[in-house]
Amino acid sequence: MGDTLFISDLHLHHTRPETSAAFFRFIKQQARQAEALYILGDLFEVWLGDDQLDHDPLSQQVCQSIATLAPAGVAVFFMHGNRDFLIGNRFADSAKVTLLQDPTTITVKNKNYLLLHGDTLCTDDVAYQQFRALTRDPAWQQATLAKAYAERVALAQMIRARSDSEKATKAEDIMDVSPDTVAAVLRQHGYIDMIHGHTHRPARHSHFIDGHECIRHVLADWHDEAQFLGLTDMALATCKRPPQ
């Protein structure tokens, strides 16, 4: 029986071929030996709707690569991030992945874990939370997906530029998780350990809440190094990038 692996925040895009190469290598090597793989959001830099598969060769290649895990007996689960929240059933069916709600509780080796992308924990960033609520609204998503693909490309570029501009003026701690929100979520879910990404600040945190010790594992982004979390030793492992 293989391990259970977790990744997030790869932000795959044609402008970062080295990250894509590391991902394909990870799928062929570590992921293929696993029992299950959980992708906790932001697999892609941007997702404009499942018809992106008709326009972007890299998206097609990523989808096909993930689909190779199913015949190998690896169960793959996907949770939306703040960059790829428009991923839908067409992608899920093609990649042979199961879509997860955020948050989701899983049980592995008789232990419960709470999985999140992580952006819902960053409640000090009020402007972002307002934007998140808007973009998760079914009516907004339906209206957006009804636009021509080229319009969605332009919309995504505009949103990205505005986000980058706003980030430049925000304090760093505002974009990290809120300790009070983390405590409230852990309390709500019965003091179980938590795994999330989003913040790009990989670490293992201990939280003592109401007499309970809860561990919060923060997954790494893949901009500088390809990393994944395995449940065997609950440590971030490195997937070596292929030679350039």
Q: What is the structure's pLDDT at 155?
A: 94
pTM comes to 0.94
- Say how many residues make up the chain: 244
Return the number of other C-beta atoms located less than 10 Å from residue 14's C-beta: 11
Q: Where is 187: in which H helix or E strand?
A: helix 179-188
19 burial via Cβ count (<10 Å: 0-12, 13-18, 19+): buried
Which amino acid is located at 148 in the chain? A
pLDDT band at 237 (very low <50, low <70, confident <90, very high): low
Instruction: Kindly report, residue by residue over 118-176, the tens digit of the pLDDT.
Output: 999 999 999 999 999 999 999 999 999 999 999 999 999 999 888 888 777 777 777 89
Expressed in angstroms, the distance from the first to the final Cα of the chain is 33
Q: How far apart are CA 239 and CA 29, in angstroms?
A: 9
Give the pLDDT mean for 227-237: 74
- Cα radius of gyration rounded to whole Å, the chain: 18
Instruction: Kindly report, residue by residue over 16-64, the tens digit of the pLDDT.
Output: 999 999 999 999 999 999 999 999 999 999 999 999 999 999 999 999 9
Q: What is the structure's pLDDT at 233?
A: 59
The strand order across the sheet containing 111-115 reads 104-108, 111-115, 193-196, 212-218, 203-209
Give the pLDDT mean for 173-192: 95
Instruction: Kindly report, residue by residue over 69-95, the tens digit of the pLDDT.
Output: 999 999 999 999 999 999 999 999 999
